[in-house]
Amino acid sequence: MVSIEYERRIARRFAGFDQDGNGYIDREDFNAAAKAVLAAFGTTARSDKGQALYIGAEAFWQGMAGIADRDGDQRITREEFVSGAVKRLHDNPDGFGEIARPFLHAALAVADTDGDGAATVEETVRVLEALGVRDDVAAAAAAALDTDADGRIGEAEIVAAFARYFTVPE
């Protein structure tokens, strides 16, 4: 018996990936995510950081498709997401972090405007909002990421939190 709460949680995760809201996850959603993050920081797609982000988005998509696109039609439906991705991600959260790492690494480089290797809480909120996360949720998530409260959020914290968000019940 699948609980209503579980269904809602899955729906939110799915909606997070389905950036254009057309009911399935595909390459365009990952490109849209890269585009939105670049726009939030005024970074062009053809800059080094922009190209790295698109390459990371493509790798992320390929990794997700490898896990979840069971019929190989280059779309992940909600059914495929639930039966494929959610189970696999839950069984192997570190593996999911590795799939997402090139994208997260590149997104951090875009957000890290002073180039010190970490994003501020404010910069992290801007990334999350660009990805469609609600303001209050983004602020709470970014604050929670800064576990030692030094105002800086690094790659390891981001990758671990991302894996946790998609794999562990809230």
* CA 99/CA 17 separation, integer angstroms: 14
* CA 130/CA 36 separation, integer angstroms: 5
Residue 3 beta carbon to Ca ion: minimum distance, rounded to whole angstroms: 26
Q: Which residues pair with 152 in a beta bridge?
A: 120
Closer Cβ to Ca ion, 30 or 96, answer by number: 30
Closer Cβ to Ca ion, 109 or 166, answer by number: 166
Residue 65 beta carbon to Ca ion: minimum distance, rounded to whole angstroms: 8
Residue 69 beta carbon to Ca ion: minimum distance, rounded to whole angstroms: 4
**3-35 residues labelled b (16+ CB within 10 A) or e (exposed):** eeeeeeebeebbebbbbeeeebbbbbbbbbbbb
* CA 46/CA 64 separation, integer angstroms: 25
Residue 73 beta carbon to Ca ion: minimum distance, rounded to whole angstroms: 4
Q: What angle do CA 119, 100, 148 make, to 5 degrees?
A: 35
Closer Cβ to Ca ion, 37 or 125, answer by number: 37
Closer Cβ to Ca ion, 71 or 148, answer by number: 71
Residue 13 beta carbon to Ca ion: minimum distance, rounded to whole angstroms: 13
**Residues of the shown chain interacting with Ca ion in the complex, contacts defined by CB under 5 A:** 18, 20, 22, 29, 69, 71, 73, 75
Closer Cβ to Ca ion, 64 or 128, answer by number: 64
Which residues, including other chains, have CB under 8 Å from residue 16's CB and lie 6 or more apart?
A: 131, 132, 133
